[in-house]
Structure 1
Amino acid sequence: MEAIDASTIQGGRDKRASTPGAANNFLKHMSAMYKWAISNNSIHITKNPTRDVPRLRNKSDGHHTWTPEEIEQYRNRWPLGTRERLALEVLAFTGLRRGDVCRVGPAHVKDGVISFSTEKGEVEIHLPILLPLQEAIDATPHGVSYIGKEDKTPYTKESFGNWFRECCVAAGVPGRAHGMRKAAATLAVENGATDSQLKAIFGWTTDDMPSLYTRKANRKKMAEEAIKTLQRNP
């Protein structure tokens, strides 16, 4: 393993350069493997060769962020009482990832607050249930999880993602599950959420993601204010 150095890792990254996301995932998984080996005192691995290999810039913004118009279009297609509508409302009013959406259910609720440890990072979150979400929950039959199959058994995150994609296609919208999480974060920032509040809602443990959203929101606000300077005063 010591024969693998930064140039080897970079070569593996560059082989995947045509798909930056895959290249960066390669670096991510290799880094995790080396960190695990070092933390477990492997006699064969003493340094992490991924540290000096930067990730590739990915010009894509990733998953499409839902617009308010697309959310309403989806709601018009799937009325209250349908599993499809409940899925949207859980995503919209919790900002949970797919894996957590598939798990959350009545057992996680006490005094109107959803509390549980997230699948990714095992972060404890506490989310008060807002009225629109409660109305959707009350209107829709469910099992141990709010979002389940027709027989009320839970989805896996992969099967949920596939099913929700079909729901979106039927509604004629381009959004997907993760895009709703992005839309929720965007709305929270536009409504004044701080970085600390975003971390509490979305289970982020570093400032990277909250800062990304707040920077975008600040640029938008500054542009809206600055555009007035382009007008010629009489």
Structure 2
Amino acid sequence: MPRQRHKAKVTLPKGVHRVVSRGREYFYFQLGRGTDHAGERIALPNDPHSPEFWTAIRQAQGSIGAVPVDTLGAVADEYLLFLKSAGTITSGTFEQYQHSLRLAKTAWGSLSAKGLRPVHVQAVMDRMAATPGAANNFLSSMRAFSTWARVRDHIEHSLTEGVKPYAKDQGHKPWTPDQIEAALTKLTGVIRRGVILYMYTGMRGSDAVRLGWTDVDEGGFAKTTQKKKRDVWCPIVPELAAEMATWEKRPGPFLWQEGGRADGHRYTRKLFSKHFAEERDKIPELAGVTLHGLRCTAVIRLRRAGLSTGQIGDIVGMSLATIERYCRFADRKISGKAALQTLTRTSEEQNCKTTQNSKTKT
């Protein structure tokens, strides 16, 4: 039986009570509970981690008197509600914003939003120096939050002006031919199938886990990308077609969980990445590879096949700048090899002696 995960405990403010009935949690707001002067009992949302929960608390508190609504915590909750209602970002991106703003609320939740300055954001960045990727995600979320809050007069100054992200490393590297060979020969089942989809389509994980037989359209996959909401048509190359010929035709996505109580259930991007990592760590040749590296591998393969940057973008749903970044090493390597061939040929021509240019003895 899989271990049940529990979210971090939340400290409830005065007047908020938790009740467990028939195995379910319920929350409500009531001042003076159990006394002769008990106030009105107001039901609250059942998830204390959601922005709706804290907004409902402030509304309930406001019903019995004025309460401050200009704290960083209150403004952050309003921003999260705005993102959720706008529906312009994916659930994964929303979770990233939610996590980052949870860090902000932990640090300054009870402080006035208008009193915050970039020095406060920099202090959090400094504390996160050991995890630069997470720190940069936090800074990115705070930039977006700061822009939204400033034009609505929740804050008076940018919260991120002058705060610099940590330098990026080399990023996700493409897989080598030996790594691809090891994956195809040593991985099995749905994990191998997923690697094949990632490698031959170049799609993001959030799109690859949703691919299924119903997406096949005239020799390719027709799909609207989850993150950018961009319509793409990805050709099914012969290598992928040969693999697909062995797959069962059934409703739903190509990638489904195998075994246990979750057997047959859909994969999320995060869960598939987790299961892939578990299998990858058993194969020494795959040490350090990432699924996102296969996206880079696919782009380089398409570039070497002679496709333009625009054509590749239409296939994988990627920005032109990202494609150029992914191809920078491959292009330099190809150019270097071409230059070597030119230099070698020129050298051979210079050293070549013919009857016309060589001296002959008479």
* Coarse TM-score class (shorter-chain normalised): 0.7 to 0.9
SS, match of residue 2 in structure 1: helix
2:296 maps to which of 182, 189, 192: 182
1:53 aligned onto 2:163: yes
Q: CA deviation at 1:225?
A: 4.3
1:166-222: per-residue Cα shift (whole Å, max 9, x none)? Answer: 3323444222311211221222233333322232233224x3312212332332233
1:49-102: per-residue Cα shift (whole Å, max 9, x none)? Answer: 3354332212x32334311111112212246xx323321211111111222121
Q: Are residues 195 and 149 of structure 1, via their aligned partners in 2, closer, same or farther at CA, if it must alter by over 3 Å?
A: same
Residue 196 of structure 2 aligns with an amino acid whose one-letter code is: E
Residue 209 of structure 2 aligns with an amino acid whose one-letter code is: C
**C-alpha contact (below 8 Å) 2:223/2:232 kept by paired residues:** yes
Normalising by structure 1, we get a TM-score of: 0.82
Which position in structure 2 is the counterpart of 1:199? 313
**C-alpha contact (below 8 Å) 2:220/2:235 kept by paired residues:** yes
What is the alpha-carbon distance in structure 1 between the residues aligned to residue 312 and residue 221 of structure 2?
16
Gaps of 5+ in 1: none
1:149 aligned onto 2:257: yes
2:174 maps to which of 60, 65, 71: 65
Residue 164 of structure 1 aligns with an amino acid whose one-letter code is: F
| Percent of residue pairs identical | 27
Normalising by structure 2, we get a TM-score of: 0.56
SS, match of residue 212 in structure 1: helix
Which position in structure 2 is the counterpart of 1:163? 275
What is the alpha-carbon distance in structure 1 between the residues aligned to residue 174 and residue 306 of structure 2?
19
**C-alpha contact (below 8 Å) 2:116/2:159 kept by paired residues:** yes
Which position in structure 2 is the counterpart of 1:30? 142
Runs of 4+ with deviation above 4 angstroms: 225-234
Which position in structure 1 is the counterpart of 2:153? 43
What is the alpha-carbon distance in structure 1 between the residues aligned to residue 313 and residue 225 of structure 2?
12
Q: Name which structure has the greater RCO, CA cutoff 8 Å, separation 6+.
A: 1
**Please, what is the CA RMSD of the aligned residues?**
2.7
